[in-house]
Structure 1
Amino acid sequence: MRKIKLDKSCRLSNDFFHNVIKIYGQLAGRIKKAMETLFDMPKGYNCWPNVKSFNLVLNLLVSAKVFEVVHEVYLQAPMLGIEIDVCSLNILIKGLCENGDLEAAFNVLDEFPKQRCEPNVRTFSTLMHGLCEKGKVEAAFGLLERMEKEGIDADTITFNILISGLRKQGKVVEGLELLERMKFKGCEPNAGSYQEILYGLLDAEKYVEGKEFMVRMIGEGVDPSFVSYKKLIHGICKERLLRDLDWVLKQMARQGFVPKMGMWVEMVQSVVSVSYSFNHVSVSKIVNCENI
């Protein structure tokens, strides 16, 4: 890079510098060097950066949680000849939401018309995620209504964020209803959609419904996670629903999962406990019959 800077006849493209910035920021973890390269491009290398490289630096700063620098870099866009786009504003919103400053994030939403930009599905999904993290699920659904009014179609990520928000509030039934609404809207659920519902059922200790939903998932070609099986086995043992244990173990084996030692201990203890209770009742009945 030093040699390139000294050789004034050397002309390099934006793509070259984009890759250099990516190497510095993502591979080497040298965020400061990536930022310096961006600002050094016009004078040092006689190449003006494009918005793609600018957004890469913004995203690197947000990923590194250097939130105090993000806005400073954003304000330098005119000096670099950068015209802000939707992606730039979305990255700002993402950084503010991750920093817990929702008010400032919504202020950026107001900046879209001023920058001749229109918010997209990613804009709203990011804000919804920030609201759900704060427990403001109703406000997140308000944004969904706003999206629909503005003709912006919610995608799978949007619905998954809302389903997850409902799960954290213990609203499993509402989550199931949203899953059906999602399908009605023509948005295909993914593994994450089903998994959030399943976790919600198991967290609410609805183990019978959880097992039935797991059967539904598998029937629709979605494999439950190892954690799902662990939670379900715990519930089966706790509620002594041992008739379902064989099915769960066979399904785990089909997916290549092997229960851990703690899970085996819990299962054996539960089976032994039920067996002891059964035998104890049988002996009592025999004794009572002999007394008669």
Structure 2
Amino acid sequence: MSFCRLLRRAFSTTTKSIRAISADLDGEQNLKRLVKKFKESSELYRFRTKTPIYEETVRRLANAKRFRAIEELLEDQKKYPDFSDEGFAVRLVSLYGKAGMFDNAQKTFDEMPERNCARTVLSFNALLGACVKSKKFDMVEKIFGEVPEKLSIEPDLVSYNTMVKAFCEMGSFDSAVLMIQEMEKKGVKPDVITFNTILDCLYGNKRFSDAEKIWGQMVEKNIVPNIRSYNAKLLGLALEKRTKEGAQLVEELRNIGVKPDVFSFNALIKGFVNEGDLDEAKRWYGEIEKSSCSPDKWTFETLVPFVCEKGDVEYAFELCKNIFQRNRLVGVALLQAVVDGLVKASRIEEAREVVKLGNTNSYRNYNLKLPSDE
């Protein structure tokens, strides 16, 4: 057998083994064993190149609030030569940030020179992002102001967009807007992400007129709005109870070739729910079904309680069946309310079907009950 064929076979075998390891980690329910298996698997170089596996494992541990386990897992990674590579170190900083463990992210950033690992704007952005994700807002401006000067780093577009995000999350909208001017002074051109971040916050906080001014700035700077920009405006219109204007906007988007997504439809559904218009809320749910989109958890959690409130138990039943067909995770109370409404309307068979679907599906046991069973 030729050397090339042997190499290809070895590569294929390793790829299969990594897939098997990933599947084993995904299926491991004991989190202590999960960490042990992860550390053992990390001895394989190819495993250490698989960022998604790291992200999913840390996400699971963070959701379970196993922060010591996250520290054990990520600190173990520093023994490998990979830690001398900035990309690998950035991954550790970012993962600590996603887990809300900023002190560990800062410590990792500070340790990089000890391993002859260069700190460029890439790792600076990871540290800044970790600070924002950890909601250490009191430190964001300090890091942005001091670290670049100390390390002779020039903040780039990602740096400024992270600061815009931080100001928006702090509710300092005016500071976020002023950051656009600061960027331009430094020769950094804001992009659609910069504006979308501000638009999301202004429209979402009922500052519609301020958001429209920012929209005007975006157009003046020849930055083309994308679907996220329009979705922010749709939500703003919904919160202003101007959802019919939002519906007209969606039709205009279709005419200019901008494809609405599930967030577009959800904004309209939310708006019509807020305005008490059941027919329009149902119509726009139907538009999701007609499109290439799929209703998500948020769709159902907005629409189902409203449908129940309006007494349309037949439609609520159909929505429940769709929830299970699509394996959507929703709150137990939402489904139980549908069961109770069906029983009250003497639709016992439909109620039993929802209970059965809730308690025998393949992804979650909701432990639903008929009222008479309680």
Q: TM-score, normalised by structure 1?
A: 0.78
1:47 aligns with 2:117: yes
Number of equivalences = 260
Aligned to 1:279: none
Change (3 A) 1:122 1:235: same
* Residues 58, 74 of structure 1: 8 Å contact kept: yes
1:73 aligns with 2:148: no
Q: CA deviation at 1:187?
A: 2.3
1:31 aligns with 2:102: yes
> Which residue type is aligned with residue 263 of structure 1?
V
Alpha-carbon separation, structure 2, partners of 1:21 and 1:142: 36
Aligned to 1:226: 300
Q: CA deviation at 1:114?
A: 2.1
Q: Who wins on radius of gyration, i.e. which is larger?
A: 1
Aligned to 1:262: 337
Change (3 A) 1:266 1:23: closer
Alpha-carbon separation, structure 2, partners of 1:166 and 1:189: 16
Change (3 A) 1:250 1:86: same
* Residues 131, 140 of structure 1: 8 Å contact kept: yes
Aligned to 2:154: 83
Change (3 A) 1:263 1:11: closer
Alpha-carbon separation, structure 2, partners of 1:53 and 1:229: 43
Aligned residue for 2:258, secondary structure, equals coil
* Residues 48, 81 of structure 1: 8 Å contact kept: no
CA shift digits 1:61-81 (9 cap, x unpaired): 111111111111112212213
Alpha-carbon separation, structure 2, partners of 1:14 and 1:68: 26
Change (3 A) 1:24 1:266: closer
* Alignment match of 1:57 (pick from 127, 130, 134): 127
> Which residue type is aligned with residue 50 of structure 1?
T
Aligned to 1:98: 169
Aligned to 1:142: 213
Q: CA deviation at 1:103?
A: 1.8
CA shift digits 1:9-48 (9 cap, x unpaired): 9992212321332344345x43123223324434x33333
* Residues 93, 130 of structure 2: 8 Å contact kept: no
1:119 aligns with 2:119: no
* Residues 157, 189 of structure 2: 8 Å contact kept: yes
* Residues 300, 323 of structure 2: 8 Å contact kept: no
Aligned residue for 1:166, secondary structure, equals helix
Change (3 A) 1:64 1:219: same
Task: Tell which deviates more after alignment, 91-100 or 261-270.
Answer: 261-270
Q: CA deviation at 1:254?
A: 4.2
Alpha-carbon separation, structure 1, partners of 2:248 and 2:228: 17
Alpha-carbon separation, structure 1, partners of 2:219 and 2:192: 10
Aligned to 2:86: 14
1:206-221 counterparts in 2 under 5 A?
Answer: 206-221=277-292
1:153-168 counterparts in 2 under 5 A?
Answer: 153-168=224-239
Structure 1 segments, 4+ long, off by >4 Å, are none
Alpha-carbon separation, structure 2, partners of 1:136 and 1:129: 10
Aligned to 1:128: 199
1:203 aligns with 2:274: yes
Aligned-residue CA RMSD (Å): 3.0
For structure 1, the 5+ residue unaligned runs are 273-292
Aligned to 1:282: none
CA shift digits 1:176-222 (9 cap, x unpaired): 12222333443221111101101211221111222222223212244
Aligned to 1:277: none
> Which residue type is aligned with residue 174 of structure 2?
E
CA shift digits 1:82-109 (9 cap, x unpaired): 2211110010011111111112112211
> Which residue type is aligned with residue 136 of structure 2?
V
Alpha-carbon separation, structure 2, partners of 1:251 and 1:103: 42
Change (3 A) 1:233 1:23: closer
Alpha-carbon separation, structure 2, partners of 1:32 and 1:261: 42
Change (3 A) 1:223 1:45: closer
Change (3 A) 1:200 1:151: same
Aligned to 1:253: 321
Change (3 A) 1:247 1:129: closer
Aligned residue for 1:256, secondary structure, equals helix
Change (3 A) 1:251 1:30: closer
Aligned residue for 2:142, secondary structure, equals helix
* Residues 121, 153 of structure 1: 8 Å contact kept: yes
Q: TM-score, normalised by structure 2?
A: 0.62
